[in-house]
Chains A and B, each alone.
Chain A
Amino acid sequence: MSEVMDILSTAISYASKLGVEFAEIRLERTRFTRIEIRDGVYNVSSGIDYGAAVRVYVNGSMGFAFTTRIGTGPLRRAIEQAYSLARSTPGSQPKPLLFDPVEDYYEHPVKKSIEDVSIDVKLKDLAELDKLVAEKSFVKSRLVVYNERVEERYYVSTEERLIGEKRELSYLYASAFGKEAGVRGSAHITQGTVKGYTLWEKTPQEKMAEELLGRLQRQLRAKTPRAGNFPVVIAPEAIGVFVHEAFGHLAEADLVEAGSALQGKKGQQVASNLVSIVDDPGIDDGFGTLRYDDEGVRTARAVIVENGIHKQIMTDRIHATILEAEPTGNARAESFRYPPLVRMRNTVMLPGDYSVEELFEGIEFGYYIVSTAGGQTNIDGNFQVGVEEAYEIAKGEVGEPVRNLSIVGNTLETLLNIDAVAKDFGLFYGRCGKGQLVYVSDGGPHVRVRRMTVGGRE
């Protein structure tokens, strides 16, 4: 590590000599392994992503360059390139927010490093899951994907910030396609951790297979839902997607500036007073658990909504300046190939006081949304969440499974319509795309929404 820091320190002092107003170098070394079992055929891939990104701010313009050759010479050339890009194209970009000098190195603790487990063991563990899924006659096709990455990130800037951080991520995705009596269906499950090789400890193969197969079977027997407006109870896995997709993106500073539905709403009520939403980089075992962001800023909890009132937005250095908002350390990049954007980390709704059972009481007819296939929001505050597993609610009881629906609405209207928040909580793992993919977590409790548009077919 000290060798890398020496190279970075030498390179950044060169940037200082050029007379830039601000410069930073972000060096990343990520080791990946991916194991795929596609209907019993194994594919193992691995790679090392090693490179450094340079950003230089001068004349109201930000220049960016990256290199896959690490050494004082190539880094100097990248700095020169970013510098000449910025200098030759004067602009009106405000100066990024600056911070005090710091020296820090942090390694996220793991129970058992994924690098200490042999590929044979990993193959065997995955094969066990694959076998359990393959056994069922209604399963016609299946896929198990295991991804792991060891991320080392180093950062230096002309502010004399020297930072290093290391963490391990592993992520499992399994899906199955089935046919029964002419009906087709498919389902998926995911699991993740940043605590090393602990996936199977968190959810053993039997449990994972049982959940996946259960979801698939219910899909095969599900009926078509009605289209219209109904009361809805949303389970933790789905509320996580809702909180991230429908709401979180609206609180990203770049979208707030561009006119998102949260623009100008600070201090106002944007949700029912039962609702509190945070983007928390300190949650135990989250994919967005980070000490520093990709601009070398110490991460902080962003309290987006507290008891229904909009408090904070998520910022990077530039938007913290433009919007005069607190720095929260939300700048993240997919890799050294990209400049960072304002991104989420672990976005969750905080639990309330209700028991889960109470949420269903008094619902004459509605839907219970358990898991999703993802969602998407637009800057105007209209969201869509595609549903994979859902049930009817009839007379306060969870009834038959339904398939092919989505829930949509205007995010703020929906948040105001939440009339009960349960005390349970779940955290989930995935990746979010905003031009670049980053690993995030989301979650929350069971929640009841008085009325929501359900896209069904009848």
Chain B
Amino acid sequence: MASRISPAELGVMVARWAIHEGASEAEVYIHVLRGYRVDIRTNRVETVEAVEDVGVGIRVAVGRKTGFSYTTGMEISSVREAVRRAIKQARAAPEDKWWQGFPEPSKSYPEPGGMFSVAVARAGPETVLEHAREMLDKASSIKDLVLARGSVSVYTLERVVINTNGVYRVDVGTAALVTAGVTTRKDGVTTPMIYNIDMSRVLIPESDAVVERAAETAKQCTTLYHGLQTGRYTVVLSPRVLAELMEETILYSLRGDIYVRGRSYYGNKLGEKALSEKITIVDDGAMKGGDATWRFDGEGVATARKVLVEKGVVRGLVFDSYWGRRAGQESTGNASRDGYASRPHPGYTNVVVEPGDAALEELLDGRVLVVHQVQGAHTTNPDTGEYSVLANPAIYYENGEPKGWVPGVVLSGNFYREIISNVEALGKTVERAYPGMYMPWIRLNGITVAVKS
């Protein structure tokens, strides 16, 4: 029975079958995800879910030709079929002249800590539901608030990477995530849906606090402010907005594959100052308790802390082993996988933008638009850095005083350029923008703002 074989044992068997079937090299990734999740929709628990997602991804090389296949579950027959499929594809594919094989084991692996807790691993559906009810209670205690969407989930993930070059790695981690989306309806005005999250690897975050934070922002939108004209403004972006715009621009250009393919904005700027000196960006796969912390990446290479941008100077890029070799260097431990169904590709672990020294009053000084969320960051052109997004909500402040929500504000510009010359200040503290993304608030001047007439 397949269920009696451990994932690591299965991995070894799969690698052997692949060689037996004609592969010159093989790599096996096994992912076993177990947990519970409660979904909330419009002030009500919608579904209580058990999650058990198990699958095997197999990458093989036949000479310099590669193939990838995956299967759900760990049934011997379907895994064998996936091995054969991967090899068949490799044989059909054109040769990749840059292929240099799978990585070797790393010399040492980090021990980051704070990535597993027995309490989270043992949390059952009742515990998860209790946290969901706390969110509902909190929401019903706030006047005019609708908890439109919410979720509490806990899970344990076991990751196994084995390859025929001697990589044999097993890691187990836990995590708990709370999400909320709220709106407020007051005097015929529906505020935008405001999202908030919290996450931890070792305990279930205080779920009512997530609702409370979202509700505070929503409340600021119940007063409308009219009278702004289209023009240039100083804006203060929330960590989330900064993360979204960075992801589509700077983090795209700091990817090794984008660099090798000649598309990186920083292609000829390595070692040079190409961002404001206020900006320092770190990718740290071994950060203690980080949302995306693991001992090894999707190819079994040790994770590590890397300074990508130091005071505006581009210091490094993120690579998996394939793109690292194409650039003539080692993998940086940044092979990322979207579960067992994808090949590894260069990606990020925990991304930290280091904080600045501005207190809240300094960020809000003068006339500013504080942008909590944007719509359409994904429509940014990563090759040029051009963006045009709806700030929803943007709250107008005068000398630290909120004047109200300005509906229909569009921010446009070129983020690559603005991050060089328009950065005025970064906040003193770093917040979780998204799972694995830690950023401060940022103040930018001279941003083009279109306002609905």
Contacts and interface: CB of A to CB of B under 8 A. Distances in A.
B225 interface: no
Given A43-B343, A45-B343, A258-B42, A383 B125 contact: no
B42 to A, nearest CB: 5
Nearest to B451: A453
B22 interface: no
B443 to A, nearest CB: 20
A46 B408 contact: no
B187 interface: no
A340 B72 CA distance: 20
B389 interface: yes
Given A69-B75, A185-B383, A254-B42, A379 B148 contact: yes
Contacts of B55: 68
A45 B68 contact: yes
A399 interface: no
A453 B47 contact: no
Given A65-B49, A454-B450, A383 B190 contact: no
B143 to A, nearest CB: 15
A50 B71 CA distance: 8
A456 interface: yes
A382 B48 contact: no
Interface string B64-85: 0011111111010010011001
B129 interface: yes
Nearest to A374: B379
A384 interface: yes
Contacts of B67: 44-45
A-B pairs with the 8 shortest C-beta distances? A386-B379, A455-B410, A68-B73, A406-B388, A404-B386, A384-B376, A258-B148, A384-B390
Contacts of A380: 183, 190-193, 392, 407
Interface of A is mostly: strand
Given A44-B93, A227-B450, A384 B379 contact: yes
A453 B261 contact: no
Interface string A312-329: 000000100000000000
B371 interface: no
B82 A48 contact: yes
B392 A62 contact: no
Interface stretch (A18-26, A86-94, A267-275, A296-304): A86-94
A228 B450 contact: yes
Interface of B: 36, 39, 41-42, 44-55, 57, 66-73, 75, 78, 81-82, 85-86, 88-90, 92-94, 96, 98, 125-126, 129, 146, 148-149, 183, 185, 190-193, 230, 257, 261-263, 341-343, 375-376, 378-384, 386-390, 392, 407-408, 410-414, 448-453
Given A51-B72, A379-B148, A457 B49 contact: no
Given A48-B71, A66-B52, A386-B388, A92 B44 contact: yes
Nearest to A122: B92
Given A258-B146, A375-B376, A455 B388 contact: yes
B75 A91 contact: no
Interface in A54-107: 55, 61-69, 81-82, 85-86, 88-89, 91-93
Nearest to B379: A386
B181 to A, nearest CB: 8
Contacts of B44: 91-93
A376 B378 contact: yes
Contacts of B190: 259-261, 379-381
A185 B383 CA distance: 7
Given A62-B47, A89-B48, A42 B96 contact: yes
B420 to A, nearest CB: 16
Contacts of B50: 63-66, 81-82, 85
Contacts, number: 278
A59 to B, nearest CB: 11
Nearest to A183: B384
B72 A68 contact: yes
A49 B190 CA distance: 41
A419 interface: no
A227 B410 contact: yes
Interface in A235-265: 254-255, 257-261
7 contacts: A68-B52, A69-B75, A85-B125, A92-B44, A380-B407, A384-B379, A453-B453
A376 to B, nearest CB: 4
A372 B380 CA distance: 11
A229 interface: yes
Interface of A: 38-39, 41-51, 55, 61-69, 81-82, 85-86, 88-89, 91-93, 119-120, 123, 140-141, 177, 184-186, 227-229, 254-255, 257-261, 318, 337, 339, 372-388, 403-406, 408-410, 451, 453-458
A81 B375 CA distance: 39
Contacts of B413: 457
Contacts of B92: 44, 119-120, 123
A64 to B, nearest CB: 4
Contacts of B410: 227, 384, 406, 408, 453-455
Contact of A453 (B39, B49, B450): B450
Contacts of B81: 48
B70 A384 contact: no
A259 B263 CA distance: 43
Given A227-B410, A383-B390, A410-B408, A258 B183 contact: yes
A261 to B, nearest CB: 7
B73 A185 contact: no
A382 B49 contact: no
A379 B183 contact: yes
A319 B304 CA distance: 48
Contacts of A384: 375-376, 379, 388-390, 392, 410
Given A65-B49, A384-B376, A227 B230 contact: yes
B382 to A, nearest CB: 8
Contacts of B125: 85, 88-89
Residue of A62, A386, A409 ringed by the most chain B CB atoms within 10 A: A386
Given A46-B85, A227-B448, A259-B190, A184 B384 contact: yes
Contacts of A260: 190
A254 B44 CA distance: 12
Contact of B452 (A55, A318, A409): A409
B379 A259 contact: no
Given A68-B73, A254-B41, A379-B148, A404 B414 contact: yes
B388 A405 contact: yes
Contacts of A374: 376, 378-379
A239 B73 CA distance: 42
B392 A378 contact: yes
B412 A47 contact: no
Nearest to A67: B52
Contacts of A62: 46-48
B24 to A, nearest CB: 17
A172 to B, nearest CB: 18
A228 B230 contact: yes
Given A44-B92, A379-B193, A38 B261 contact: yes
A86 B116 CA distance: 28
B149 A258 contact: yes
B260 to A, nearest CB: 9
Contacts of B452: 229, 408-410, 453
Contacts of A228: 230, 450, 453
Given A186-B383, A380-B192, A141 B261 contact: yes
Nearest to A184: B384
Residue of A62, A120, A385, A408 ringed by the most chain B CB atoms within 10 A: A408
A386 B376 contact: yes
Contacts of B90: 44
B125 to A, nearest CB: 5
B191 to A, nearest CB: 6
